[in-house]
Amino acid sequence: MSRFAAPIAEQIWDMKYRLKEADGTPIDGSVEDSWRRIARSLAEVEDDTALWEDRFYAALEDFKYLPAGRITAGAGTARSVTLFNCFVMGTIPDTMGGIFDMLKEAALTMQQGGGIGYDFSTIRPKGAAVAGVAADASGPLSFMDVWDAMCRTIMSAGSRRGAMMATMRCDHPDIEDFIGAKADSARLRMFNLSVLITDPFMEAVKADGSWDLVFDGKVFRTVQARDLWNRIMRATYDYAEPGVIFIDRINAANNLAYCETIAATNPCGEQPLPPYGACLLGSINLARLVSEPFQEGAALDLKALDQLVATAVRMMDNVVDASRFPLPEQAREAQNKRRIGLGVTGLADALLMLGLRYGSEAAAAQTEAWLHQIARAAYLASVELAKEKGPFPLFDAEAYLASGAMQMMDEDVRDAIREHGIRNALLTSIAPTGTISLYAGNVSSGIEPVFAYAYTRKVLQKDGTRTEEEVVDYAVQLYRDAFGEEAELPDHFVNAQTLSPLDHVRMQAAAQKWVDSSISKTINCPEDISFEAFKDVYIAAYEQGCKGCTTYRPNDVTGSVLTVSEAEKPAETPVLVHEAEDGAEVVYMSEPLDRPETLEGNTYKLKWPDSEHAIYLTINDIIVGGRRRPFEVFINSKNMEHFAWTVALTRMISAVFRRGGDVSFVVEELKAVFDPRGGAWVKGKYIPSILAAIGGVIEQHLVATGFLEGEGMGLKSDPKAMVVNLDGRPGKACPSCGQYEMHMQEGCMTCGSCGYSKCG
């Protein structure tokens, strides 16, 4: 008899988690084989491997404990992939060399399957002087465009595209441009954006005070705090981004405040991490722990919960030792602090089984009690591990216990930590569980409400046709099994579409009290919510103790929510046409274009003084929207000294060109690069570096083909988007299956048809 509760669960396992040969031949014959593979791999670091393999298998069995997707897919495969889901990269230096070093590190991390977060607040604002170069800085957003292009070219492990989070402080001089970046529906599509909100800023908002925008100690200008807050709110109201992160609250509550400062999170926001911070994830499936569901005696088995949490903590601690890391800095950070992120899924289903209405005060109180139980069990299990294996290397008992989060922990737990130490610096987090929730039988995701009790999913068959199947929520199916297929659902069965936004906030705040990291959650708002009521959601989140807030309101930029039943439509790639103020048309592609068989282009010879070999640049163009525009660049030289960076430059510039839009900044950035060893005089003009010379050649080509108006005259106006939706279809097509069933869930655009998630 199959362990899978629904056909979709088996399909997800086969597609994403089942170990296969390179040609697709299955190695895992059954899901039991997958559980055994994971259990065996994570028990290898134990002295008694057989004992712990069996205990780990028992935790995984019947989907009670769900390691995050990267562990489920990667553990025991001998593949060079990371088992960690979350990374925040190193602090970005405010230098050209440092910025591109960070870009390389990001690419290496994403290549192994990690989602990354970056704080772009450290890059000087647009227009600031650049020392040693007769030029002004282009600002952090121009470099974010480069990161965005890089992300598009890196296919993460398991055929998942990478995901990124970009943060910026609320006092950075470019914060207004950052807030408005997603108004352009083709820009920064590989990023989630969040503003780092400080406590002084919130006080200034309440007092309607002024707010200085500052970089490197210099005040660039002063705005009204409430005006800036309203700009954030309006952008989020109109196109769902940016989110907000209450960064001072995060740092004050951090167990490791004595040895780290946090300025960014992973892509979905549930892991605030320091530079090079890494965290792995896993979830307790609460829906599987309820006894006598829908009966008067329905209850969560707390003894089973404690035992499951203790086993899960040990498994996750072992992942720190079993995993590979893209960068040595990430390995050191993980091993010095041994962070884990144990969370839950199936919460809403469990509440339904107990007769509680999600969002009610009773449901919030029950949620808080369950998360308190999990926190106690996790911390005590980590203390037991510390007794056996030692505490994490940077443990300092008094400093650790003095942190904000630990001050509210139960006294017996604090006493145990003081006496024995603790193995893992932080232990709890609630992550997006969209795909693993489907794999576990379509249980409700994370702490989210049930999104839809049933919907139709289109399944791609081997012959290329699509069939339709009903996908039913796990708790709803249990109810049908108990009371009949036609039984009417009780009144306490509510879903994401019928809840008020403040009900969502209440549940997030209740869970946050006992989560030492953070929570990935989307607060669904009705399309017709007033702007004032929408702003109240964020104020409520701040006042009720949340560490961040992400909302989703259906809109023209991000599209509408999943429809329960909709006729199948063919997938096409929408084209976005922008009109610049001077009348020049700028065409953006919502997805990178595929390369045609033939392209028209030109090859240019660049001879750099004192260099033995010339550099040859080939620039090929494509016709889009009736205009010729650059599509790709090839840079070649016989000088092997140049090989690595010319290949890197070729790939990065081509990726930016294929994204579409105004790419003239590529020319500007290259022309601004200077070589500390000195430039050269070329045709009577001083060129500060060979990279600047390459930028000049590209500019020459773009002027000749009519893409740029002239030297130094790139398309610099701020075009206003006119989105051309080809046939009135709602929302955006899923990049994996092409179906128009994308919806926002736990901070990520997720496909209701195939389970694809933007966040991997």
Task: Please state whether the peptide bond connecting residue 242 to the residue before it is cis, i.e. omega within 30 degrees of 0.
Answer: yes
Rounded Cα gap, residues 247 and 262, in angstroms: 8
Q: Are 747 and 269 in contact (CB under 8 A)?
A: yes
Rounded Cα gap, residues 329 and 335, in angstroms: 10
Say how many residues make up the chain. 760
Catalytic, out of 151, 268, 525, 759: 268
* Residue keyed to tokens 């901070």: 747
Alpha helices in 323-410 (DSSP H): 328-337, 347-353, 361-389, 397-401, 404-407
**What residues contact residue 110 under an 8 Å CB cut-off, 6+ apart?**
116, 150, 151, 154, 156, 162
Rounded Cα gap, residues 436 and 9, in angstroms: 9
Pairing of strands 680-682, 340-345: unpaired
pLDDT in tens, 93-114: 999 999 999 999 998 888 877 7
pLDDT in tens, 19-58: 999 888 999 999 999 999 999 999 999 999 999 999 999 9
Tell me what the mean pLDDT of segment 563-582 comes to.
Answer: 38
Q: How many CB atoms lie within 10 A of CB 56?
A: 26
pLDDT in tens, 498-548: 899 999 999 999 999 999 999 999 998 988 999 999 999 999 999 999 999
Q: Are 165 and 267 in contact (CB under 8 A)?
A: yes
Residue 734 falls in the annotated catalytic set: no
Q: What is the pTM of this model?
A: 0.77
Q: Minimum mean pLDDT among 112-116, 239-243, 287-291: which range?
A: 112-116
> Where does the pLDDT of residue 736 fall: very low under 50, low under 70, confident under 90, or very high at 90 and above?
low
Distance from the Cα of residue 595 to its chain's centroid: 28
Catalytic, out of 53, 241, 260, 270: 270
Q: Which of 131-135, 375-379, 707-711 has the highest mean pLDDT?
A: 375-379
pLDDT at 635 over 70: yes
Q: Concatenate the DSSP letters of all residues of 289-345 into one string.
A: SEESTTSTT-EE-HHHHHHHHHHHHHHHHHHHHH-B-SSHHHHHHHHHH--EEEEEE
Rounded Cα gap, residues 502 and 487, in angstroms: 30
Q: Are 176 and 140 in contact (CB under 8 A)?
A: no
| The predicted structure's pLDDT at residue 758 | 63
Residue 524 falls in the annotated catalytic set: no
Q: How many CB atoms lie within 10 A of CB 17?
A: 22
Q: Concatenate the DSSP letters of all residues of 445-490 into one string.
A: PTTPPPS-SEEEEEEE-TTS-EEEEEEE-HHHHHHHHHH-TTPPPP
Catalytic, out of 266, 285, 495, 524: 266
* Residue keyed to tokens 């039943």: 565
Alpha-carbon torsion (514, 519, 522, 525), positive or negative: positive
Residue 270 falls in the annotated catalytic set: yes
Pairing of strands 600-606, 615-624: antiparallel
pLDDT at 236 over 90: yes
Q: What is the dihedral of CA 735, 738, 740, 742, to 10 degrees?
A: -30
Q: How many CB atoms lie within 10 A of CB 459?
A: 16
Rounded Cα gap, residues 109 and 334, in angstroms: 14
* Residue keyed to tokens 């926190």: 375
